[in-house]
Amino acid sequence: MDTRIKTFAKYASLSILGMLGVSCYILADTFFVSLGLGKDGLAALNLAIPVFSVMHGAGLMLGMGGATRFAILKSRGETKKSGSVFTASLILAAAFSVLFFLAGIFFAGPLAAVLGAEGEIFSLSKIYIRVLLLFSPAFMLNNVLLCFVRNDGRPQLAMAAMLTGNFSNIVLDYVFIFPCGMGMFGAILATGLSPVIGSLIVSVHFFTKKCTVRAASPRPFPKNARACFTLGVPSFVEQISSAVVVLIFNTAILRMAGSAGVAAYGVIANISLVVIAVFTGLAQGVQPLVSRARGQNRPQDTKKYFQYSAATALAAALLFYLILFFFAAPITDIFNSEKDETLEKIAVYGLRLYFIGAPFAGMNIVFTAFFTASENPLPAHIVTLLRGIFVIVPAALVFAALWGLTGTWLAFPATEAAVLIVALLLFRRYRPRIFTEEHI
């Protein structure tokens, strides 16, 4: 067997498993909250998802951006420069943590109100948002450390840290919500402790002989910060777009179908996190390989990794859609503890339409990953902004106005299909710069 496919399978599978762990602990929140707090709890949780997306996106931006640059510098033997990028990433993570932490103290209520929470749902959302933001230092640090350790040749440890942290969240979710009776506070406390545990496990790498990540002077800080932002922005916008989409959809669905509709969309949005997590895990797994091939002038390896990534994304998308199409009802029942018939009807119908966009989304994420990992950030930014804000938002508004809930569900596949056409054109334009030895 070609060693490249074995290496790809190792990095991609471990990264996908790790990202599935991340999405599963969000699903655990959804399941236990729906079981313990019912429809209102599920709606409150869904309204708070955008805050998590923004915070998680900031951590991924600094981690993916800094680690991509680190991998390229390391492969060229520029150890001191790679260390300065790591230090700059940590400084930026600390700065963002302060902002999120202060937002949790002073603006949890206003944020819940802006996101559409009212009445009992408002109090539940406020609790979730406040505690989530107070744990922001742990989330930020965990994201940065995971990305750098993965790029330092330890994908197994990164995966183990993610899965252990997330499995602990599932256990603590049950303990805090039911035996301890802590309600929504218990759900978010369990979620907040997950990155703390993950960070402790992944930190083991920095005390081993295999570790080549060494802190160094962050200077020139502006240049290193720019590298983190430029190469990491697609990851950030990916998460921001998720927050924007959830906000727009929640607003439209609340107007058309009330809290039952928002709860139904909560089921779809959380399953979407799992589907997108697979594609994101694939992108994060192949990124170190592409960056390394880029640094060592091996364009043929980059071509192979692209072929493997595209095939994996399409196969995964097809599998997801078949499962969601044929098992939409039993999947919805898992999160419908009150057996609300309106919720079930809306969710089942929505699942079958919404995830028609899965293969298009998977390929868009693959293209974005290859643009970024090969130091071509501009096309990555274009694709991410189009699918995250500039196409999905007007599509959701227009489609909802024209076809109601059906239009809302179809906005996602229509957006991803349209953006894929743009991604293909950009890929054709940038192909020589991705698959050649040229460096920017």
Query: Can you give the pLDDT at residue 436?
Result: 67
Buried-state track 364-400, b at ≥16 Cβ within 10 A, e below 16 = bbbbbbbbbbbbbbebbbbbbbbbbbebbbebbbebb
**pLDDT tens digits, the chain, 440 residues: what are they?**
578 899 999 888 888 887 777 677 667 777 888 888 887 887 888 788 788 888 988 998 999 888 888 888 888 877 778 889 889 999 999 999 999 999 999 999 999 998 888 888 899 999 999 999 999 999 999 999 998 998 888 888 988 898 898 888 889 988 998 999 898 899 889 989 999 999 999 999 988 888 888 877 778 888 888 888 888 877 787 777 777 777 788 888 988 988 788 888 988 988 888 898 899 889 988 988 988 888 788 888 889 999 999 999 999 999 999 999 999 999 999 888 778 889 999 999 999 999 999 999 999 999 998 998 887 889 988 998 898 889 999 999 999 999 999 999 999 999 999 999 999 999 999 988 877 654 43
Q: Which residues contact 250 (CB under 8 A, 6 or more apart)?
A: 46, 47, 115, 116, 262, 265
Q: Is the pTM of this model over 0.85?
A: no
> Could you give the CA distance from residue 217 to residue 238 in angstroms, rounded to a whole number?
30
Phi, psi torsion values for 431, nearest 5 degrees = -50, -45
Give the dihedral sign, CA 138/140/141/142: positive
Query: Can you give the pLDDT at residue 437?
Result: 52
Please count the residues of the chain: 440
Query: Can you give the pLDDT at residue 439?
Result: 42
Q: Which of 329, 307, 437 is nearest to 375 (CA)?
A: 437
> Could you give the CA distance from residue 417 to residue 400 in angstroms, rounded to a whole number?
18
Q: Which of 190, 205, 107 is nearest to 160 (CA)?
A: 205
CA triple 209-212-218, angle to 5 deg = 140
Query: Can you give the pLDDT at residue 143?
Result: 92
Query: Can you give the pLDDT at residue 346?
Result: 94
Query: Can you give the pLDDT at residue 279?
Result: 93
Query: Can you give the pLDDT at residue 401?
Result: 93
Would you list the domain boundaries of the chain? Answer: 3-434
Query: Can you give the pLDDT at residue 336?
Result: 83
